[in-house]
């Protein structure tokens, strides 16, 4: 995913947490706030596992998000992983992400 789509500052993360809506699932929670352009940030805490596991989860989440980007409305998204995401496959992460984004009403059409 390109740098222009990433949320990098702590203030931006806090803004999305405070002002946005969220949808929770078994594997992660998606926060969404309206914005002019599409941006995303990922948060994977130590409860998920060691550094290797956390990085694997982040890579899978980034790829799942990237595959759904053409179907999404503009806005700021923050995805926070739960410990169950460490054992989930890419397909499970992607389908759960599609479900959470549909719940938020930001996915235009659903293709899994």
| Structural domain spans, the chain | 3-104
Q: Measured between alpha carbons, how far is 30 from 42 in angstroms, rounded to an integer?
A: 9
Q: What is the pLDDT of residue 2?
A: 83
pLDDT in tens, 13-63: 999 999 999 999 999 999 999 999 999 999 999 999 999 999 999 999 999
Rg (alpha carbons) of the chain, rounded to whole number: 13
- Report the SS3 class of residue 42: strand
- Report the SS3 class of residue 21: strand
Contact present, 107 and 67 (Cβ < 8 Å): no
If pLDDT is split at 50, 70 and 90, which confidence band does 109 have?
A: low
Contact present, 65 and 79 (Cβ < 8 Å): yes
The top-level CATH class assigned to 3-104 is alpha beta
């Amino acid at each position: 995913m390109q740098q222009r789509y990433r949320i990098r500052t702590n203030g931006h993360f806090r803004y999305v947490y405070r002002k946005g809506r969220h949808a929770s699932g078994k594997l992660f929670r998606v926060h969404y706030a309206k914005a002019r352009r599409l941006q995303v940030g990922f948060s994977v805490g130590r409860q998920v596992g060691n550094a290797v596991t956390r990085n694997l989860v982040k890579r899978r989440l980034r790829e799942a998000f990237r595959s759904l980007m053409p179907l999404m409305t503009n806005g700021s998204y923050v995805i926070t992983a739960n410990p169950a995401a460490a054992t989930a496959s890419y397909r499970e992460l992607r389908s759960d992400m599609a479900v959470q984004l549909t719940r938020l009403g930001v996915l235009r059409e659903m293709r899994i």
